């Protein structure tokens, strides 16, 4: 008999399930990236969603059937339990990464609220350098000859928010405003998940954090399409660049983004589905979630590129030059465009509040996947869930201070460059190490099950492929399932 007892099912309605699982696929990556053409995105939506639908359907069924989290679910084939540990390691690394990112919007909001004007609207601040140039004067300078020119938003983000050092070898001091923003972010996370899925899902916290960003996105969309030059940005977004479509790297980047945003294999879907009713419509959820994900991606593209078109119109810089991806889009380019709008403080507040809520949703899912896995594997600590949650949040907060967020982004890249700084080989190696930490769990557990268990290796291998109590955890559903299996066997006879 498997050691983990039943959970209390808390998703009383299908909408609870869909809303919590939506947080797995809708996060800050929607605002930190863009596709070179809408046509390419649509192709990958059709191709990628077909495959991820199958994967997500399997993940939902696994979690919903077993009512258990990322590690325990592999009792259906104990040989692959290492994949469960790998999922937990991935979530630990990515939680550290995302928790740092959600501290940035809090820093922006602090400056918006407590300063008389947007601090990235001009070059007359203490952190600005001689290379800062007012965006309204851009048309009077040659950026081809002067690559060292920087916008006020660029310098604000790098020199005031990040206080970035000259290179990865130079650690620098703790940025105390960012430290306290990070502490506030983790305090909010702890308050929201203190009772686990009870507060996140059924407590309706997620209803606000998951739906309010859509309202903000719609408001920004309406404002964006009414701006002069918006059509220029939208045309750039929807018009295919046929030459770029021949570049395999562009297609690879789009594919990575699709699969990354849908989150198959991250464990969040399995964990959230484990709280579903046993008879929940898993197939419907698996269809709806990719549709919501890709619809959000396409809609967010119109929101972003309408404003980028306005920025291009005001500065005279082509949209292709203005458009970028990564943190620069959300924390440099878009804020700079917002600063040029009438009532810029209102739009900036809405935008960064949306970013914070999106990031908060992502951290909810990731930290809950970690905590649930610990409680499932160690039932003795379940009465101390509050303490486990507190320790987990404090540990993630501590790691967030120590580790650089760049370490988890160095994947499949030979040369790593950020802010015109090329990172050394040892930094790339650390990035690969962060990737290997999760992958190594899978073969290590296989070796343990096959070669370090009592008995012959061949027998251990065969036994490890057999399910270990692969039945519904709830007694009523388990009895119904066993009756159904017996009926099937009698019918086959």
- b/e sequence 440-476, b meaning 16+ C-beta within 10 Å: ebbeebbeebbeeeeeeeeebbeebeeeeeebbbbee
243 annotated among ligand-binding-site residues? no
CA gap 258, 256 in Å, rounded: 6
Give me the residue label for tokens 């983000």. 157
Per DSSP, the chain holds a count of helices (H) and strands (E) of 20, 2
Burial class from Cβ neighbours inside 10 Å (0-12, 13-18, 19+) for residue 144 reads exposed
At how many degrees (to 10) do helices 205-225 and 230-238 cross?
Answer: 110
From 198, 196, 20, 62, select the one nearest 472 (Cα to Cα). 62
Which has the closest alpha carbon to 81: 463, 458, 449? 449
Asked whether residue 293 is marked as a ligand-binding residue, the answer is yes
Contact 285, 17 (CB under 8 A): yes
Query: What is each CA distance from 403 to 98, 174, 355, 360, 397, in whole angstroms?
Result: 12, 12, 22, 19, 10
Six-digit token string for 130? 């001689």
Residue 447 known to bind ligand: no
Strand partners, 418: 421
Cα(336)–Cα(329) distance, rounded to whole angstroms? 10
Local structure of 454: helix, strand or coil: coil
Nearest one of 359, 330, 338, 349 to 115, comparing CA atoms? 349
Residue 271 annotated as part of some ligand binding site: no
Residue numbers belonging to the annotated binding site: 261, 293, 358, 361
Residue numbers belonging to the annotated binding site for Na(+): 261, 293, 358, 361
């Amino acid at each position: 008999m498997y050691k983990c007892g039943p959970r209390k099912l808390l998703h009383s309605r299908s909408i609870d399930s869909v809303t919590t699982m939506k947080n797995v696929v809708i996060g800050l990556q929607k605002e930190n990236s863009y596709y070179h053409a809408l046509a390419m995105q649509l192709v990958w939506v059709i191709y990628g969603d077909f495959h991820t639908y199958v994967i997500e359907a399997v993940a939902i069924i696994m979690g919903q059937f077993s009512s258990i989290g990322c590690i325990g679910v592999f009792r259906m084939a104990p040989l692959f339990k290492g994949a469960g540990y790998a999922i937990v390691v991935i979530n630990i690394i990515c939680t550290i990464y995302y928790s740092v990112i959600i501290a940035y919007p809090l820093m922006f909001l602090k400056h918006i609220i407590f300063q008389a004007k947007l601090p990235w609207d001009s070059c007359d601040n203490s952190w600005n350098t001689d290379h800062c140039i007012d965006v309204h004067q851009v048309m009077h300078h040659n950026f081809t000859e002067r690559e060292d020119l920087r916008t006020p938003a660029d310098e604000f983000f790098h020199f005031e928010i990040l206080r970035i050092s000259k290179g990865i070898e130079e650690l620098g001091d703790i940025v105390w405003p960012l430290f306290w923003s990070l502490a506030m972010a983790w305090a909010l996370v702890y308050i929201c998940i203190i009772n686990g899925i009870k507060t996140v899902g059924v407590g309706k916290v997620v209803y606000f954090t998951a739906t309010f960003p859509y309202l903000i996105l719609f408001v920004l969309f309406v404002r964006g399409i009414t701006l002069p030059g918006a059509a220029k940005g939208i045309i750039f977004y929807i018009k295919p660049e046929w030459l770029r479509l021949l570049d395999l790297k562009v297609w690879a980047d789009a594919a990575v983004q699709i699969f990354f945003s849908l989150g198959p294999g991250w464990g969040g879907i399995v964990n959230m589905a484990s709280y579903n009713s046993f008879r929940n419509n898993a197939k419907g959820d698996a269809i709806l979630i990719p549709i919501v994900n890709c619809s959000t991606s396409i809609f967010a593209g119109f929101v972003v590129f309408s404003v980028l078109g306005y920025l291009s119109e005001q500065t005279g810089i082509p949209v292709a030059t203005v458009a970028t991806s990564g943190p620069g889009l959300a924390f440099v380019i878009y804020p700079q465009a917002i600063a040029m709008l009438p009532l810029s403080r209102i739009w900036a507040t809405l935008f960064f509040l949306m970013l914070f809520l999106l990031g908060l949703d992502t951290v909810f899912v990731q930290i809950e996947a970690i905590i649930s896995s610990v409680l499932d594997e160690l039932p003795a600590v379940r009465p101390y869930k509050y303490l486990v949650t507190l320790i987990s949040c404090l540990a993630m907060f501590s790691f967030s201070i120590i580790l650089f967020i760049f370490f988890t982004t160095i994947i499949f890249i030979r040369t790593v460059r950020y802010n015109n700084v090329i990172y050394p080989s040892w930094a790339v190696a650390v990035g690969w190490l962060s990737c290997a930490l999760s992958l190594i769990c899978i073969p290590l557990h296989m070796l343990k099950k096959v070669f370090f268990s009592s008995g012959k290796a061949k027998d251990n291998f065969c036994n490890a492929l057999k399910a270990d109590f692969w039945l519904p955890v709830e007694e009523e559903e388990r009895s119904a399932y066993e009756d159904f299996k017996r009926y099937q066997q009698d019918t086959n006879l």
